[in-house]
């Protein structure tokens, strides 16, 4: 055992915001653990601030002055008497120095050891590491300043190649190159984007798989030598190399391939002595069925709820229990997949305009409810989506016995989801899940580009005032349902009988 102050956890600092903060607070409540929510000036009235037992202001709205200030986060944890810090995802969740600072302060970091984060942090180093552990990877090349070397390497790898940011994440710093003439421009622009996003301009080349699926495996390890996987998540439906619809099980995998990939995922995790929740991302070449390690995300994943539905395991509670030093309460052979789960990420963005993020105030939000429906959200009516943070509003997750039923349930849930005040991708994701290719399970990473490049919303946009007025007048004019209106209808309702429950009669 290294670092940290592992042992019982009674109070956790949540070093994040939004929906993941709400998710962690819920898990803590159920475990009887107190929570401290940090917040920037922009989030003073946010839902997690109200939900947590305590809240601490850490700075102005820009993340570099608040949620990325590791020193302030550690200080807030210490002054409020926390014994652990949960980093969520995004922000400092994959920052090894932050994890180390948390441990150095005598606090438990709810996540892997700093060394494991560091080892997987740079994509090229991670590739070399898992390759040595026998996990399949694609040919890659990382050079220095000589661009001629890249041209030679790309020729050797064979076009198409993908230029990727060494420190990449969230789909940024990536360029597909199909011919040598485009290579140098792609490298330059990927470098610029990467420098801006990650303060690291290094890029590398990787063989690009044209007909591909993104299939990842959830892994979990404790401090007692147990490492398991919790099956796959199919995340091929992406725009700008970032996921928007995820599901499990994957319609592509059979028992054999699932076992092979699961074993490779466990081996990749073991190669960095991994502890806690992590995700091994693979790209699968559907032309020959071979799979290749892309990267490891050393944190909780945005799409973790689909795994929770199908395995029946609360991954956030398990993260906290494992961080407290408890062993995993199951072995690999105890785990199984039951039913089918689907997730749609609900973004404040304009799918008809390059998926550009939009900002604004949510006038009204009505979330769908019902059996097998889960909404993970951190915002409500009146909240504002700002330029400072990720434009994800919520995640809509559904569960049912099989894929067909899960898609129907998702369609019905999306039809009930109302967000007024800003443009969202709700109608877009509904069109995607209702498309023949999605329904047939032919989900590849290029589906959106191939089928939805020129997507337009069905209706010409109308103003929110008009929508509100329309909603109100619709409610007023809604006729009494036919069963209520028909006195001969065979419906029993005590409310329809004047004498049903006369009090004191
Ligand atoms: P994953 O690899 O887990 O599928 P991404 O690659 O999309 O997810 O990266 C994590 C994303 O989550 C980032 O885009 C980041 O900006 C976003 N993010 C971080 N914190 C939050 C939060 N509190 N609420 C919503 N989104 C967040
Ligand atoms: P990030 O850290 O930004 O998540 P990833 O390496 O996970 O970067 O890649 C993001 C997405 O880009 C993948 O899910 C996949 O759709 C696409 N991609 C990445 N590498 C390749 C590749 N070699 N061939 C084909 N598609 C790829
Ligand atoms: Mg990735």
pLDDT in tens, 23-75: 999 999 999 999 999 999 999 999 999 999 999 999 999 999 999 999 999 99
Indicate the average pLDDT of the chain: 92
Is the pLDDT at 505 greater than 50? The verdict is: no
Query: Helices in 96-234 by DSSP H: which ranges?
Result: 96-104, 114-121, 123-132, 147-157, 183-198
Is the pLDDT at 490 greater than 70? The verdict is: no
Phi-psi region of 305 (alpha: psi -120 to 50; beta: other; left: phi over 0): alpha
Tell me, yes or no, if 502 is annotated catalytic.
no
- How far, in Å, CA of 297 to CA of 81, rounded? 29
pLDDT band per the 50, 70, 90 thresholds, residue 177: very high
Mean pLDDT of the 135-148 span: 93
Ligand closest to Cα of 18 equals 1
Is the pLDDT at 2 greater than 50? The verdict is: no
276-318 tens-digit pLDDT:
999 999 999 999 999 999 999 999 999 999 999 999 999 999 9
Can you give the pLDDT at residue 225? 96
Count the alpha carbons within 13 Å of 122 in the hemisphere toward its beta carbon: 15
Q: Is the CB of 283 under 6 A from ligand 2?
A: yes
Is the pLDDT at 378 greater than 80? The verdict is: yes
The token pair that represents 235 in the structure block: 């995340």
Q: Which residue has the tokens 């932050």?
A: 98
- Provide CB contacts within 8 A for 481, sequence distance 6+: none
Ligand 2 atom closest to 206 (CA): 23
The token pair that represents 367 in the structure block: 């979330």
For ligand 1, atom 21, which residue shows the shortest CA distance? 90
User: By the 8 A CB rule, do 172 and 197 touch?
Assistant: yes
Can you give the pLDDT at residue 1? 39
- Count the helices and strands in the chain (H runs, E runs): 17, 23
Q: Which of 40, 86, 89, 391 to mutate for ligand 1's pocket (most ligand atoms within 8 Å of CB)?
A: 89
**468 vs 343, residue with greater confidence:** 343
Can you give the pLDDT at residue 458? 82
DSSP codes, 473-501: HHHHHPPPPHHHH-TTS----GGGSTTTT
307-351 tens-digit pLDDT:
999 999 999 999 999 999 999 999 999 999 999 999 999 999 999
For ligand 1, atom 8, which residue shows the shortest CA distance? 302
142-168 tens-digit pLDDT:
998 889 999 999 999 999 999 999 999
Is the pTM for the entire model greater than 0.85?
yes
Ligand closest to Cα of 193 equals 2
Mean pLDDT of the 85-90 span: 98
**501 vs 455, residue with greater confidence:** 455
């Amino acid at each position: 055992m290294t670092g940290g102050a592992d042992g019982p956890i009674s109070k956790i600092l949540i070093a994040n915001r939004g929906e993941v903060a709400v998710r962690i607070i819920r898990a803590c409540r159920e475990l009887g653990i107190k929570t401290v929510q940090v917040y920037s000036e922009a989030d003073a009235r946010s839902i997690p601030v109200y939900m947590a037992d305590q809240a601490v202001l850490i700075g102005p709205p820009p993340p570099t002055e608040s949620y990325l200030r590791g020193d302030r986060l550690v200080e807030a944890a210490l002054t409020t008497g926390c014994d652990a810090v949960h980093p969520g995802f995004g922000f400092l969740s994959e920052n090894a120095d932050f994890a180390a600072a948390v441990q150095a302060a005598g606090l438990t970091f709810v996540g892997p050891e700093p060394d494991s984060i560091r080892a997987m942090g740079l994509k090229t180093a991670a590739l070399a590491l898992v390759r040595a552990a026998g996990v399949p990877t694609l040919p890659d090349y990382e050079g220095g300043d000589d661009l001629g070397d890249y041209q030679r390497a790309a020729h050797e790898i064979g076009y198409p190649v993908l230029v990727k940011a060494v420190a990449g994440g969230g789909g940024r710093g990536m360029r597909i190159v199909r011919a040598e003439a485009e290579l140098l421009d792609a490298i330059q622009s990927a470098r610029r984007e990467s420098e801006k996003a990650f303060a690291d301009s290094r890029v590398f080349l990787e063989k690009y798989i044209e007909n591909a699926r993104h299939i990842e495996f959830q892994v979990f390890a404790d401090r007692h030598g147990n490492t398991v996987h919790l099956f796959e998540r199919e995340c091929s439906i992406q725009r700008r190399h970032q996921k928007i619809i995820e599901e499990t099980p994957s319609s592509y995998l059979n028992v054999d391939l699932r076992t092979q990939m699961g074993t490779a995922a466990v081996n990749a995790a073991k190669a960095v002595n991994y502890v806690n929740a992590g995700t091994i991302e693979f790209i699968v070449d559907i032309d020959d069925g071979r799979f290749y390690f892309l990267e490891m995300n050393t944190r909780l994943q945005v799409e973790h709820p689909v795994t929770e539905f199908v395995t029946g395991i609360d991954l956030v509670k398990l993260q906290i229990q494992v961080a407290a030093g408890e062993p995993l309460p199951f072995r690999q052979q105890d785990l199984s997949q039951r039913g089918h789960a689907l997730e749609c990420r609900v973004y404040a963005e304009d799918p008809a305009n390059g998926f550009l993020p939009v900002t604004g105030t949510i006038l009204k939000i009505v979330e769908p409810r019902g059996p097998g429906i889960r909404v993970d959200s951190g915002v409500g009516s009146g909240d504002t989506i700002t330029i400072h943070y990720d434009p994800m509003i919520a995640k809509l997750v559904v569960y049912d016995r099989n894929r067909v039923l899960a898609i129907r349930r998702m369609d019905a849930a999306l039809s009930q989801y109302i967000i007024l005040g800003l443009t969202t991708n709700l109608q877009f994701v509904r069109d995607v899940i209702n498309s023949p290719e999605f329904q047939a399970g032919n989900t590849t990473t290029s589906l959106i580009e191939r089928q939805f490049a020129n997507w337009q919303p069905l209706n010409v946009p109308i103003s929110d005032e008009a929508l509100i007025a329309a909603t109100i007048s619709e409610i007023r004019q809604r006729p009494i349902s036919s069963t209520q209106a028909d006195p001969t209808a065979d419906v029993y309702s005590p409310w329809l009988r004047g004498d049903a429950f006369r009090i004191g009669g």
